[in-house]
Structure 1
């Protein structure tokens, strides 16, 4: 059965870009009589706030959307993600990385152009790792691309029904270098986005992932994790990004005008839907 989702993080108020993505996914599900799922991706306890989660639900209801109940909140299902992480650790597909973000940024700055997407590390010698753990040093669990390449047999790909940033469509071969040795978990935010999202998509039976083109490259990482965890691969449908009058995409960090502000200014949901192309 067709099933898709809208999965915001409650780190701020929704804006037009969020509305466009939610309406796109909702319309796709309703067009074929499928399922539309709302998922609250709130595993980052340092940034997520209950008031933003409540606002998300209010904004989507104001837009006229409905969704399955109950809503899955990632913070209530940490055991699912840790089980997946433990399976990767047990198979030797991960390693503890003690490097800070600053140290990795320095490595990237001193490497050839594009190294951000291909950064690879390696586990420390056992005695050094044991000493650092005994000293209480922080670390992140990273997926080892080298180990993943040895574990995976054959070429991986995903189906793109929409369009990537460069017009990519159809069967997309996985680029094994994209993302580098991605973080799967760290102390400050717990399990990381890439791992949680593939577990959730599988557990919720998501058949189609409909989202913005800014996440197209993340699909390469997520498809690799799906294969390593023996999870089903959804079909992907990346859509265009909504741009403001300045030509930049709407973003929380740029303080894009929120749906709450639009409401306060007198805009109706019907007017916003028409503006975004959903009559």
Structure 2
């Protein structure tokens, strides 16, 4: 049996917020319950959006919440580095491996061109779907209109029909080719896409379980397919419901009471905050003095709500 390896992977684009804290908390509790290894990876691949000092602040806030890591950028580990911007060679090697099997191609289509095709009559109802205009050319050099992106040529056969295992949403099967079509692995400006780097990192770090926010659930099928095409085993997912305002609208990271640091600066007991988060997500820990350990002991994914969680369920306590 493969040893349990759970990971939390925040992006240092701002302060850690309550929604991410909830995902981190359940990631840590699940790993503790399985007596596994808890990994923190910093996803800073999109360098222009990185906020100076945010990575250190996130680690500091998570430590205040009571989370301790077995492997992280701070202490290292057997799969270092744990910062995406230091792992470019791995991503390039993955693209080269896919190219050797004819599974990627260069694409110089603009967003406007793709949108025009997607808005044509009978173009489909799944949203903008890349029609594969550049697929016949593969990776061959030609007279590009603009620096080309690299797209995955989603297989036309049954390989594109993947089964996703999700502890919260259940097990389901999806055909990746029927969604957005061939998706980008590296943008035209040279930035590696999230869909590629997260898969490569999870495979390289031997991650078995991923707990993350529900807004990322739609990418699970693509990542499962890509992991299999790279010869690896995709992780089991658990998508934690998003936090929303009381009127049901989406919350931004900077909304009042969302940043974890605000609760810390206000003198809130981190144990009380952990208990409030757990309660909002279906796990009443009472007055447990060691709430993370109590959550690990009682964690039951079937008790998590399937709908979004109102932020007032946490901040009002």
Do both share a fold (TM > 0.5)? Answer: yes
CA distance in 2, matches of 1:77, 1:17: 27
- Higher relative CO (Cα under 8 Å, sequence separation at least 6) belongs to 1
Moved more, 241-250 or 230-239: 241-250
Moved more, 174-183 or 204-213: 174-183
Q: TM-score, normalised by structure 2?
A: 0.76
Q: TM-score, normalised by structure 1?
A: 0.86
CA distance in 2, matches of 1:93, 1:245: 45
CA distance in 1, matches of 2:30, 2:22: 12
Name the structure 1 match of 2:156: 149
1:153 deviation in Å? 4.8
Name the structure 2 match of 1:270: 271
Question: Is 1:85 paired with 2:95?
Answer: yes
1:34 deviation in Å? 0.9
Aligned partners of 2:126 and 2:179 also within 8 Å: no
Name the structure 2 match of 1:123: 134
Three-state SS of the structure 1 residue aligned to 2:272 is: helix
1:94 deviation in Å? 1.4
Aligned partners of 2:8 and 2:39 also within 8 Å: yes
Three-state SS of the structure 2 residue aligned to 1:149 is: coil
Aligned partners of 1:216 and 1:238 also within 8 Å: yes
CA distance in 1, matches of 2:191, 2:94: 13
Name the structure 2 match of 1:9: 11
Name the structure 2 match of 1:261: 262
Aligned partners of 1:118 and 1:180 also within 8 Å: yes
Q: Which runs of 5+ in 1 are unaligned?
A: 164-168
Aligned partners of 2:160 and 2:225 also within 8 Å: no
Name the structure 2 match of 1:235: 236
Correspondences of 1:65-214 after superposition (within 5 Å)? 65-71=67-73, 72-110=82-120, 112=123, 114-116=125-127, 118-123=129-134, 130-133=141-144, 137-145=146-154, 148-150=155-157, 153=159, 155-163=161-169, 169-170=170-171, 172-176=172-176, 177-188=178-189, 190-214=191-215
1:135-178, CA deviations, whole angstroms, 9 ceiling, x for partnerless residues?
Answer: 7x211111122xx234x658531222211xxxxx13x2132223
1:118 deviation in Å? 3.5
Aligned partners of 1:108 and 1:115 also within 8 Å: no
Moved more, 108-117 or 212-221: 108-117
CA distance in 2, matches of 1:225, 1:160: 17
Structure 1's 114 and 190: CA in aligned 2 closer, same or farther, altered over 3 A? same
Q: Which runs of 5+ in 2 are unaligned?
A: 74-81, 279-284, 286-290, 292-317
1:78 deviation in Å? 0.7
Name the structure 2 match of 1:166: none
Three-state SS of the structure 2 residue aligned to 1:121 is: coil
CA distance in 1, matches of 2:135, 2:168: 42
